Structure 1
Amino acid sequence: MTATSTEPRHWNIGLVGYGEVGRILAEDLRKQDVKIAAYDIKLRSDQAGGALRDHAATHGVALTTSHADLAAQSDFIVSAVTASQAVPVAEACAPAVKQGAWFLDFNSASPGAKQRAAALIDGKGGRYVEGAVMTSIPPYRINVPLLLGGAGAATLAPLLVELGFDAKVASQELGVASAVKMCRSVMIKGMEATVIEAFTTARAYGVEDAVLASLKETFPGIDWEKQGAYFFQRVIEHGRRRSEEVREVAETVREAGLAPWSAQGTAERQAFIADLADEGLFGAKGTAAFARSADWRVEADRILGAVKRKG
């Protein structure tokens, strides 16, 4: 069955990146008995790769040995890696991509990066479509709001809907969907970094209750305790990926001719938290220890303690 089939449940689907996003998509697609293969560079690691292999075995996902191996057998490829790897993944898959195979770029990369990746895939006979994921995936899973862009977007959109995606066409012009995503991320990722910085600093001065009360008065529709806890959790768990995404956001701002002062600061704050997580500050390395604590103050105190120790 080729990627020109109008029956997407008969496709061989390949996932490049078997992290949180890849595993969620695999689970939801396998429930429909769709054939799934996956590749992730972490499969080379005994520790991280073991968990991925266990998940694949549980859900009936075939694991491949390389990008090229995955591309050669896939009618539809989803690239869901870190932002900095969006173009390198397209470059690695392009030589082996099947003629007419779809390549959906899920990555939070700048419009310029998406255009470079598209040239690689389309140049080898594949069909590149950019996908801009418009909110956090876990609550929505495969039904997460998704904007599509590119010449093939209108053709691919209804096929994705058949598979359970909430896909809508943003534009036939590459980069438009990504621009929407990137501009939104200036705000959303910036709010995450701002809340962590503001709440942790307030905690240091012992004024967090007064600050939260003031925020509630100004923005009564937001539960700042709950929202703060969620922002801390997401950044502690995904700060490395988020910092890379925001560097792409900064590049998007540069491409528009502006200096990305806010985006650069957000990227640095996200990376700072990621560094602390990698050092095991929030629990064992590679774990999301915050998920076991509902109080952001616990994590703020750990951050302050680390800052004090580092001088």
Structure 2
Amino acid sequence: MTAPKIDLKTDPKQWNVGLIGYGEVGRILAEDLRKQDVRVAAYDIKLRSDQAGGALRDHARQHGVALTASHSELAAQSDFIVSAVTASQAVPVAKACAASVKQGAWFLDFNSASPGAKQRAAGMIEAAGGRYVEGAVMTSVPPYRIKVPLLLGGGDAAALAPKLVELGFVAKVASDKLGVASAVKMCRSVMIKGLEAMVIESFTTARAYGVEDAVLASLKETFPGIDWEKQGAYFFQRVIEHGRRRSEEVREVAETVREAGLTPWSAQGTAERQAWVADLADEGLFGQRGGKEFARSADWRTEADRILGAIKSKSKN
């Protein structure tokens, strides 16, 4: 039998906020919370790396974010935990935090995981006396920052929603049933992540045949509301920079489709294309991560030409 949940500090701006995952999303949330003088601590497995961890430690010092040595250390001191890690780590992180989560502490699962994964994570946190709420981030975080549209789910979602709003989030409850918010996110991602992969495949192939202008003109005629040049550049750069994380997310999308009883042919292909681009990025094709060449280019053709060059080079070897 678990201990009864207790009420923590009622003013969310007095919470000790713990961020699990100090990547792009975690750092944005940290910056926006620290601007409100909210106490923030963070943990990321990359802190163990001298190279990757150095940049994270520099950011934390700059913004007054305390860093911890483990998931459990962070969970033990946090009133409100946000898990923002790669999709495959959503359940393992919940398990690690459950070992020391404070009674009554909030656990917001920000991850793009399947409804089944969210339910498993919830079971671990709630069995330990924490209050689990699933969060489904409905679009790219950077343009909106902390105000990114967020759907909440679970029995404690309605209680957490107004507290998140006080902290600056734009959150609304999708359902008191776990898995509904995630299902909305996952089904949307079949389209959005799939469109990214299709644009890279279509545009790069068109570039190889020298027909890209005709293809874009045809797309503009069919979908006049989309600036395909701008959208293409955006999709290329997002996948180049975040393809590894995106491929993991789409594998969770595929699992969501399987849980519904369908074979995820589209999602599986999208995951493979996203991972393929990530492999090229890891090989240094697009420059160093965080370098100028990862800034969004106004012309996707530069990246398509690099991809085609890499294909030709590999075919010769």
- TM value normalised by structure 1: 0.98
Percent identity for Structure 1 against Structure 2: 85
Is the contact made by 2:234 and 2:296 (CA closer than 8 Å) also made in structure 1? no
1:42 pairs with 2:49? no
Question: SS of 1:37's equivalent?
Answer: strand
Aligned pairs for 1:223-234 within 5 A: 223-234=227-238
In the TM superposition, what is the alpha-carbon distance from 1:120 to its structure 2 partner? 0.5
Aligned pairs for 1:265-280 within 5 A: 265-280=269-284
The 10-residue stretch of structure 1 (257-266 or 284-293) with the greater mean CA deviation from structure 2 = 284-293
Q: How far apart, CA to CA, are the structure 2 residues paired with 1:102 and 1:285? A: 33
May I ask how many residue pairs the two structures share in their alignment? Answer: 310
Question: SS of 2:135's equivalent?
Answer: strand
In the TM superposition, what is the alpha-carbon distance from 1:287 to its structure 2 partner? 4.5
Aligned pairs for 1:1-311 within 5 A: 4-285=8-289, 287=291, 289-291=293-295, 293-311=297-315
Is the contact made by 1:69 and 1:96 (CA closer than 8 Å) also made in structure 2? yes
Q: Which amino acid aligns with 1:39?
A: Y
In the TM superposition, what is the alpha-carbon distance from 1:257 to its structure 2 partner? 0.1
Q: Cα deviation per residue 1:267-301 (whole Å; 9 max; x = unaligned)? A: 00000000000000000256572416321000000
Runs (4 or more) in structure 1 with deviation over 3 Å come to 285-288
In the TM superposition, what is the alpha-carbon distance from 1:27 to its structure 2 partner? 0.2
In the TM superposition, what is the alpha-carbon distance from 1:3 to its structure 2 partner? 5.7
Q: Which amino acid aligns with 1:310?
A: K
Is the contact made by 1:3 and 1:76 (CA closer than 8 Å) also made in structure 2? no
Q: Which amino acid aligns with 2:180?
A: V
Q: How far apart, CA to CA, are the structure 2 residues paired with 1:204 and 1:288? A: 25
Q: Which amino acid aligns with 1:61?
A: V
Q: How far apart, CA to CA, are the structure 2 residues paired with 1:176 and 1:199? A: 34
In the TM superposition, what is the alpha-carbon distance from 1:308 to its structure 2 partner? 1.1
Q: How far apart, CA to CA, are the structure 2 residues paired with 1:105 and 1:261? A: 27
User: Structure 1 residues 288, 145: closer, same or farther in 2, change over 3 A?
Assistant: farther
Structure 1 segments unaligned to the other structure (5+ residues):
none
Q: Cα deviation per residue 1:12-57 (whole Å; 9 max; x = unaligned)? A: 0000000000000000000000000000000000011000000000
Is the contact made by 2:237 and 2:296 (CA closer than 8 Å) also made in structure 1? no
Q: Cα deviation per residue 1:48-90 (whole Å; 9 max; x = unaligned)? A: 1000000000000000000000000000000000000000000
Q: How far apart, CA to CA, are the structure 1 residues paired with 2:139 and 2:78? A: 27
Is the contact made by 2:115 and 2:183 (CA closer than 8 Å) also made in structure 1? yes
Q: Which amino acid aligns with 2:148?
A: V
The 10-residue stretch of structure 1 (301-310 or 257-266) with the greater mean CA deviation from structure 2 = 301-310
Question: SS of 1:96's equivalent?
Answer: coil
Question: SS of 2:168's equivalent?
Answer: coil
- TM value normalised by structure 2: 0.96
In the TM superposition, what is the alpha-carbon distance from 1:310 to its structure 2 partner? 1.3
Q: How far apart, CA to CA, are the structure 2 residues paired with 1:27 and 1:247? A: 30
In the TM superposition, what is the alpha-carbon distance from 1:4 to its structure 2 partner? 2.5
Q: Which amino acid aligns with 2:280?
A: L
Q: How far apart, CA to CA, are the structure 1 residues paired with 2:296 and 2:122? A: 41
Q: How far apart, CA to CA, are the structure 2 residues paired with 1:254 and 1:287? A: 38
Q: Which amino acid aligns with 2:283?
A: E
